[in-house]
Homo-oligomer: A and B are copies of this chain.
Amino acid sequence: MDNRNKYSFGIDVGGTTVKLGLFQANGILREKWEIKTRTQDAGKHILPDIADTISEKMKEHNLHEEDLHGIGMGIPAPVNSQGVVHATANIGWGYKEVRRELEELTKLKVKVANDANVAALGEMWLGGGQGYCNVVLATLGTGVGGGIIVRSEGIIGEHGSGGEIGHILVEPTEQEKCGCGRQGCLEQYTSATGIVRLAKRRLQEDDTPSTLRDRELSAKEVFDAVKANDQVAIEIARTFGEYLGKAFATISAIVDPAVFVIGGGVSKAGKILLEFIEGPYHKHAFFANQEVKFELAKLGNDAGICGAAKLIIEE
């Protein structure tokens, strides 16, 4: 069978569910489904469960080994180039030869990578980074994560922490501690919780009227207030954009991407987010990095299965 007509399975292993997708090599998603992540017994059921559901799906679609590129998989832990993990925080595994074990269970070719890099690969293939091979995905959620793609491959790094952009120091004067134990990390100002923190600080500074006062705050409400032209909310968004734009300028000086893709819950605020980032970026970026693009992530929760499938597809 021509490689371009072969299928791939893309798998995104999370702490509560395993998401799976069956893809054509041109990116068309034939089917997606989920199974539970059984983390008990040191996660020993996870790979057999995956092998079972893959086997069923192959029967259902009448697919055989020769019809498939194989299985790509993203997992929430650092993974080395041999598909080995040394520890996981949420799925029970300690040292595990993930690639070898799943290959033995399925008799299919398997590739495994860290979930942040896999999501970035997905956005490169079918999402906000489409058409480029040098892509930075910044995921603004509860924390700030990242995936950096250089020449179509994720930067894993020596200790599996490539793309940990949430822990770039951006505010030397910060007194409060970040989750990582240091002070002034990007995550403290640009995650969903970081934006709420910025908002509370700003509201305490004075009595300027704002629709953000006297209520539960969320990143969404801050950006909703920005859209309603609330001046205090706009100031908060400017502070957010200044930190993120400056951090992106630093990332550009180091890896020189074609495009920054913004994902995670905060990105649901929409295009208005980009307006606050672009100005500070252009002010702080090196002249050779002025031509970069800014895009919103497009794949949402499907980024993981898309990128995982891309991982295994042979051009």
Which A residues form the contact surface with B (CB < 8 A)?
81, 132, 134, 148, 150-151, 153, 155-165, 167-169, 180-182, 246, 249-258, 284, 286-289, 291-292
Kindly report which residue of chain B lies nearest to residue A287, judged by CB atoms. Answer: B180
User: A167 to chain B: which residues have CB within 8 Å?
Assistant: 253, 286
Q: In terms of DSSP, what is the predominant structure of the interface of chain A?
A: loop
User: A257 to chain B: which residues have CB within 8 Å?
Assistant: 157-158
Kindly report which residue of chain B lies nearest to residue A259, judged by CB atoms. Answer: B158
Determine if A254 and B289 form an interchain contact, defined as CB atoms under 8 angstroms apart: no
User: A286 to chain B: which residues have CB within 8 Å?
Assistant: 161, 164, 167, 180, 182
Complex-state Cα separation, A209 to B29, whole angstroms: 73
Determine if A284 and B253 form an interchain contact, defined as CB atoms under 8 angstroms apart: no
User: A291 to chain B: which residues have CB within 8 Å?
Assistant: 159
User: A182 to chain B: which residues have CB within 8 Å?
Assistant: 284, 286
Contact of A254 among B156, B163, B249, B287 (CB under 8 A): B163
Kindly report which residue of chain B lies nearest to residue A288, judged by CB atoms. Answer: B161
Determine if A165 and B253 form an interchain contact, defined as CB atoms under 8 angstroms apart: yes
26 pairs, A vs B, C-beta closer than 8 Å: A81-B151, A148-B254, A148-B255, A150-B150, A150-B155, A150-B157, A155-B254, A157-B256, A157-B257, A158-B257, A159-B288, A159-B291, A160-B256, A161-B256, A161-B289, A162-B254, A164-B288, A165-B253, A169-B249, A169-B284, A180-B286, A180-B287, A181-B287, A182-B286, A250-B250, A254-B255
Additional pairs, 20, CB under 8 Å, beyond known A159-B256, A161-B256, A163-B256: A134-B158, A148-B255, A155-B255, A156-B256, A157-B255, A157-B256, A157-B257, A158-B258, A159-B291, A160-B288, A161-B288, A162-B256, A164-B254, A167-B253, A167-B286, A168-B254, A169-B249, A180-B287, A182-B286, A255-B255
